[in-house]
Every structure is written in C-alpha cells, then in structure tokens.
Chain A
C-alpha cells in the first residue's frame, strides 16, 4: 500500500515536472514564422535604417526576419522574390525599385499566398500589394518649394538633381517642388539631371553642373544622399557658402549639416515609423486581419535651421 502510494506520488510529480518543462521545450524547437524585408538598395544609409528597423520590429514580434538587397535592380529583386516564395516566408516588407517594374514580383508573391506590404515607395497597381505605406513626397516637396522661394528669393538660377527616373518618388518630389517654384518666372532652372538617388553620382553630376553653370544660387536634390554629394562638390569648388542645398529624406548626416548651417533644408520622411508600421501590419495579417487600406500616406515634415533641434535619428526627437 505504502509502495503504491509512493508510485502515485512519483508519477504525479513527474507529470507536474513535465507540464512545466515540455511547453518551453517544444516552443524552443518549433520553427519561427519568417518575414522577408526586401530593400531597393543597401548602398544608402536611409534604406539601411528602413530595412534594419523593419527587421528589428519583425523580430520583436516573434518572427525570424531576413533582409534582401535588390541593389536597385529589378532583375535582382525578382530573384529575391523567387527565393522568398520558395523559402516559405509568411510576409514580405517591400521597398520597391521600380513603380512599374516591381509589380510582377508582387503579383507572384500574391499568387503564392504571401502578402506584400510596400514601404516608402509605391507600385503602380492597387490590386497587388496588401497595403502600401508611402511617404507623401509631393506634399513634402511643396513645403520645400515654399521654403526654397523664401530663402533663395524669387530670382536667380538653380539646378535640380533628380532621383531614379523610373521611381514615382522622383517625380512626386520634382512635381511638388515645381508646383511652387515654377510660379516664380524669375527663378530659372538651368540644369536638371539624374543623380540616381546616389551620393557618388550626385557628386559627379553636381561637379559637371557647376562647370557649365557657375552662377547657380541653389540646388534642389531629390534625396539626401545626392544632397550630400552635391554639398561635397560645392565644398571642393569653394562654393558651399554661396549655393544653398536642399535635400529630402531626413538623413542624419544632412540633419546635422542643417544644424551647422551648411545645408538649407530637408524633408523628414520618418523611415522608422513606416518600417515599424509595415512589420506590425504583416503581423496582423498573419494573425488573421485582412482589411487594410491600399495606400496610407505618411506626411513629410520640413526641417530647417529654425526647427532642426526637434529632429534627429530619422524622426522627431
């Protein structure tokens, strides 16, 4: 009798112990759901912040997350999507390389049952991505254009460095800027060239513009990487004090130069906010939510010497 009671107690203890340890053990061995973060390029700090933030938020939410670099190449991007579809990922956080050229990849993922959440840049389709979180580049550049006229004046020559010509953001920014500046006939755009959103290319293009047009008063750049390149070219040419540089993105190095009075202004795009929101949307999708707005504009804020103290670390302090 005593032995059987001992056996029962032993069995009960083992059962309690097992109930305590087994769930933890099984959770450790179960494979985590996977989220892919596809970024147009990692050759630009702004996109690195975008990708790393999306990845970090996905990891916080309990996913295994991997960043794929498309190197500004739709073919490379398509190959990334093929690997992601074959790799059994649950969602894709996507920063497209081309508004039209990236649609096919998104449709492939959709056909494979993988939701795609676009970040910052859009694709020209409303039936492919699950949702698109887009910087309101146009409105941001309207504000930049107004500030440009206020600080440069209503007369003088200026240049524009465009981004990648196939990207909608390039034209949304350019059109927003010109919707204001073109109203002042005294402001003459003497050069408009693509710097492909790249710092080295921005430097190279700015050098050639300065040779052809030495009297420009300002340069409007479609992103901060090109603004940094343009500023570097101006420093080399001893013109940094006479030519005002306007960027767009809110990159940390440009925000610091605005605080030092070396760059006139930029538009803060909040990459961390967009990246985190995209990861949270993907998590909601995995958990069953299906009703997402197709396009969610994210406002851009003007950063100048007057308010630069409020900004930093790719957002508001």
Chain B
C-alpha cells in the first residue's frame, strides 16, 4: 500500500515535471541565433533602409535650383517652406538634390557651384570621414520615438555614415575634378546659419558624374 502511494506520487511528480519543466534544453546554435535576432543590428537595418527607403525617396528632395535662391532671398522663409527640424533645437535639415560644377577639390571636401556661371561654391560634399545625423534625421523617414533605446537610433547614424563613406565617396573622389558636373542628392544640417548655408554641407546618398565639362 505504501509502495503504491509512492508510485502514485512519483507519477504525479513526473506529470508535473513534464507539463511545467524547470528548464528547457536548447541547442547552442539555436540559442545564439535567437539572441542575435533579439539584438538590434544597425548595419543590417541601415543597409535595408538605404536600399528600400532612402534611395526610393530621392524624388522627395527639394531641387537645389529652387532651394538655393530661396535661401539667398530669405533664409527664414526657405526654412519654413523646405526644412525639417528635430526636437527642441534651433538646427534644421534640408533634403536637397541637384547638379553642380566642381569648383574645388581638397582632402576634406568637394565644392560645387550650382548656378551655370557661378564660381562660388553653393554645395560642399564630404571627401573624408562623415559624422553627424544628417542622413538619419534629414529626410523625416526615421523617428526617434520608434526606438526604445536611443543607442540603437544613434547606431543607425554611424551605420548610414559608414555606407556613405564606403559606397558613395570612393567613386565621387575618383570622378571629382574641377570643371566636371556632378549630380547629387542628400541631406544638409544647418546648425549655424552664418556658416552652414553657403555652402550647404550635403551628406550625399547618391552622386553621379553627368558631364566631363
């Protein structure tokens, strides 16, 4: 009788253990894959965003031939009409596209004149390292409120800047000679109107040689 009671107890215990296991055995590869999937991958995100959304949105950029005269005429009105702001700051962004003639090339930047006869630089494209959040914040396609951890949001900036440096700038540096025409599209941050409007410092998503003269 006592043995029967023990057997019943063990069967109940085994049943409970089967229904509510104290631990799960998971293959190591599966555990690593699950952890990786749960971790935000900024490089993968930036690559997908670049291809599927950023390049697809270039037609939303304001034309440089419209924006630059508007800024020259009245920066406040141009800002109101074409700029995008983030948060509570005074700085703002332009998403701009156009074609310009290269007027100077240095280790740090490539300067373009957008007006046909102009010799002064209207646009500056980077030639070296790219910093800041121009591409992340300049188009309005990404919103910080969608990211519980702002470190992920900041990592996107670094990954996008890396894509500019590896995918956009190498051919640009090869093609950019004084006198050639370059088409461009990208975002410019204006933090200080006294220095950032002329030239506009555009971080490019796309550049293309359009003419050798």
Interface centre among B87, B91, B133 (most CB of A within 10 A): B87
Please choose the segment from A61-69, A71-79, A291-299 that sits at the chain B interface, where 4 or more of its residues have CB less than 8 A away: A291-299
Question: Is A13 among interface residues, defined by CB-CB distance under 8 A?
Answer: no
**Contact A277–B88 (Cβ < 8 Å):** yes
Q: Which of B1-9, B56-64, B141-149, B176-184 contacts A (4 or more CB under 8 A)?
A: B141-149
Look across to chain B and name the residue whose beta carbon is closest to the beta carbon of A123. Answer: B148
The residue among A180, A277, A293, A295 with the most chain B CB atoms within 10 A of its own CB is A295
Interface residues of B in 91-126 (CB under 8 A from A): 91
- Taken together as a complex, chains A and B put the C-alpha atoms of A126 and B133 apart, in Å, by 21
Report the bound CA distance from A168 to B148 in whole Å.
11
B131 at the A/B interface (Cβ < 8 Å)? yes
Contact between A126 and B146, CB atoms less than 8 A apart: yes
Report the interface size class on chain B.
20 to 34
Whether B151 is near chain A, meaning CB under 8 Å from some CB there, is: yes
Q: Does A160 belong to the interface (CB within 8 Å)?
A: no
Are B151 and A125 neighbours in the complex by a CB distance under 8 Å? no
Residues of A contacting B158 in the complex (Cβ-Cβ under 8 angstroms): 175, 179
B88 with A299: CB separation less than 8 A: yes
Q: How far is the CA of A142 from the CA of B191 in the complex (A)?
A: 14
* Smallest CB separation, B11 vs chain A (Å): 40
A146 CA to B132 CA, complexed, in Å: 10
Closest A residue by C-beta to B154: A138
A:155-205 near B, CB below 8 Å? 168, 171-172, 175-176, 179-180, 183
Give A293 to B144 CA distance when docked, in angstroms. 10
Pairwise interchain contact B89-A168, C-beta atoms closer than 8 A:
no
Instruction: Check B131–A296 contact: CB distance below 8 A.
Output: no
Best-surrounded residue of B129, B131, B146 (most CB of chain A within 10 A): B131
Whether B145 and A295, one on each chain, are in contact in the complex, defined by CB atoms closer than 8 angstroms, is: yes
Question: In the bound complex, how far is the Cα of B158 from the Cα of A37, in angstroms?
Answer: 35
Distance in Å from the Cβ of B39 to the closest Cβ of chain A? 13
Which partner residue on chain A sits nearest B132 by CB separation? Answer: A142
Indicate whether A299 sits within 8 Å of B91 (C-beta atoms), given known contacts A139-B132, A294-B145: yes
C-alpha gap A175/B146 in the complex (Å): 20
Given contacts A168-B150, A172-B150, A180-B131, contact A295 B144 (CB under 8 A): yes
Asked if A146 meets B88 with Cβ closer than 8 Å, knowing A125-B148, A179-B158, the reply is no
Measuring CB to CB, which residues of chain A are less than 8 angstroms from any residue of chain B?
99, 122, 124-126, 133-134, 136, 138-139, 142, 145-146, 168, 171-172, 175-176, 179-180, 183, 273-274, 277, 293-299
A-B CB proximity, top 6 nearest: A299-B89, A297-B87, A294-B145, A138-B154, A295-B144, A295-B145
Sampled A-B contacts (9; CB under 8 Å): A122-B149, A142-B132, A176-B154, A179-B161, A295-B144, A295-B145, A295-B150, A297-B89, A298-B89
13 additional A-B pairs beyond A179-B131, A297-B86, beta carbons within 8 Å, are A99-B149, A122-B149, A133-B88, A134-B150, A136-B87, A138-B150, A139-B132, A139-B133, A274-B88, A293-B145, A297-B89, A297-B144, A298-B87
